[in-house]
Chain A
Amino acid sequence: MPIVFVATEPPAAAGGTNHRQVRAEAWEWDLPAGFPAPYNPPDNPLSVEKIELGRYLFLDRRLSGNATQSCASCHKPELAFTDGLAYAVGSTGEPHPRSAMSLANVAYNSTLTWQDPTLTRLEDQALVPMFNTHPVELGLAGNEDKVLARLSADAVYPAMFQAAFPSDKQPMTIDNITRAIASFERTLISGNAPYFRWVYGDDRSALGPAARRGMDLFFSERTKCSTCHVGFTFSGPIRARGLSDIEPTFHNTGLYNVDELGSYPPESPGAIEKTGREADRGAFRAPTLLNIELTAPYMHDGSIASLPDVIDFYAAGGRGRGRTNPNKSERIAGFTLAHGEKEDLIAFLESLTDRAFVDDPRFVSPFDAESTGH
């Protein structure tokens, strides 16, 4: 049979530099080497104006009912978009049952929260902190008109909304707020840590010997770290343009076993809360390890204070009665580290810190910190 040659679109980019331009609607991604173009929902195309509006809104305390908190109050750029607390605290002082997740590379996450497999769109997820009442987070429920009035009275927002949503007659809406915030969040791309400079930039000075040894350990069959923290996001399943959907996964790491039947504390039961599946009891999403050095305390409830403690936890195959949790993932089997290997693993984890990302000047609030900023 004759060979068929079909001339097609130019072939997939083979990236000639450390950063490459990928066109996405009215937005040009400046992606780190090795990163695919993130998935973007077709009903919310990215634009410079929308992302800028989202940036303002993300950092603006007026977006909470009592004007005391912004998104950035719990997702602080300098802490890789976490807050340093075991439990996030809402605008009225109520603690959240789980810690604030990092937003680094959140555009690639196929699911967005610790234990909810149904939240897959950033636009939908943004509604949760805005309108949640148990606990109150930003506290917008019942305060929608007040918040929209605040934004309408602002000197810059009306024009920004118009520019971001030029075909809308009344662009200042809650839906558009979530669209803008989601657009900004999609641009939180972290890919310039030393690890990436080593792997994709072939910069042999980027990782020291300890980090190199730690990298070997991280990817080893012995520790199995990389079986849950997978790929360039070092997290659970991802979405990217051109990549078919991957089934969301959640893992029970053996943190708890309160009733010897596998239960976790009732305020955070795991993905079972949404799926009803027994296998999801105590199962949580593997968070990204990028910038992990900056995101203590660890685990979904901040119950482990430091990276050495996290490594001890996994080396022991869980904690206390959690080690015998019937739903514990078989990957959490425990391992033995030789003298110095824990330090090597930590050195590797520290090589995942992207200073350029956390110090990015665009994350500096455009507002006066005393009045409206985070």
Chain B
Amino acid sequence: MQWIRPMVVVWVAISLTGVVDAGGGAKKMTEETAPTETATLTPEQEAVQSYNMGIASRNKAWKLEKKRAESSDQAAQEKLGKKIGKSYRSAAASFERAIRSNPMMFEAHSDLGYCLRKQGDFEAALAAYDRALEIQPKYPEAIEYRAEAYLGLNRLDEAKQAYMTLFKGQSDQASALLEAMQHWADENGEDEAFSAWVVERTEIAGQTKSVSQLRDADW
């Protein structure tokens, strides 16, 4: 059966401040340039559209997580938990669609990994992060998220290595990962060597300044 690319009304374009061009480069889209009528999307544009839908679902999950954390009602928490799972599943499905449209979209692989990890599937999450980093080895988000999956799998040396990669590269993701490591160490206190390493690295991170911190330093 011949596959027919759907004609899609680009309803999102007007409200967007930018979209991705087919070549992968950033292209600003304003109201003047945005198509307002029916248009055919390239696979890359379809990928972007699916990716954006995935991000929207992921953000919804985050909001629900925050709401659940603030709630003291157990029944409400359980209900929210189901909604959170549904949002992550929906996000993962969108990221998978994005990947089918553009298999080289490393961001989609990385965010798919995130959603899988949040659903507790660490092995599948790792595979998704690995793919993201095969395509873009220096993608800080994937490095960080993969390291958090390593924590979930008790692969601490690999998590440490990932932290050093981010720290050396002056990435803002380094502090987020260190925080996740601290959280992990608090909950899994039996690994004293790892806990000591986290304490030490936290101290060093507090003493040294990243390039972005230097911008705001009191010289």
Contact = CB atoms under 8 A, between A and B. Distances in A.
B2 interface: no
A7 B24 CA distance: 6
Contacts of B107: 5, 7
B16 interface: yes
B129 to A, nearest CB: 14
Interface in A226-275: 226-228, 230-232, 236-238, 240, 242-244, 246-247, 249
Closest 6 CB pairs of A and B: A14-B169, A15-B169, A33-B168, A219-B207, A3-B55, A15-B168
A231 B55 contact: no
Contact of A11 (B48, B136, B204): B136
A199 B170 contact: no
A18 B168 CA distance: 8
Interface string A7-31: 1101111111010100000000000
A219 B206 CA distance: 9
Interface residues of B, number: 47
B101 to A, nearest CB: 13
B166 interface: yes
Interface of A: 1-8, 10-16, 18, 20, 33-34, 36, 198-202, 215-216, 219, 226-228, 230-232, 236-238, 240, 242-244, 246-247, 249
A247 B12 CA distance: 43
A198 B164 CA distance: 11
Of listed A10, A15, A33, A36, residue having the most chain B CB within 10 A = A15
Contacts of B167: 34, 200
Contacts of A13: 138, 169
Given A6-B18, A14-B168, A219-B207, 10 more contacts: A2-B56, A5-B20, A7-B107, A11-B138, A12-B169, A16-B137, A202-B160, A228-B219, A240-B211, A243-B211
B166 A7 contact: no
B81 interface: no
9 contacts: A4-B18, A10-B136, A14-B166, A16-B137, A34-B208, A36-B211, A200-B168, A227-B218, A232-B209
Contact of B211 (A16, A201, A237, A242): A242
Interface string B198-219: 0001011011110100110111
A249 B217 CA distance: 12
B105 to A, nearest CB: 8
B46 to A, nearest CB: 13
B15 interface: yes
A232 B138 contact: no
Contacts of B160: 202
Contacts of B207: 215-216, 219, 226
A2 to B, nearest CB: 5
Given A14-B143, A232-B208, A238-B214, A6 B26 contact: yes
B52 A5 contact: yes
A123 B99 CA distance: 50
B170 A34 contact: yes
B51 interface: yes
B21 to A, nearest CB: 8
Contacts of A1: 15
A14 B165 contact: yes
B19 interface: yes
A3 B211 contact: no
B219 A230 contact: yes
A3 B169 contact: no
B138 A10 contact: yes
A231 B214 contact: yes
A363 to B, nearest CB: 26
A14 B210 CA distance: 12
Nearest to A200: B168
Contacts of A15: 138, 165, 168-170
B215 A246 contact: yes
A77 to B, nearest CB: 27
B19 A6 contact: yes
B120 to A, nearest CB: 25
B184 interface: no
A16 B203 CA distance: 22
Nearest to B161: A202
Interface in B13-66: 15-20, 24-26, 48, 51-52, 55-56, 59
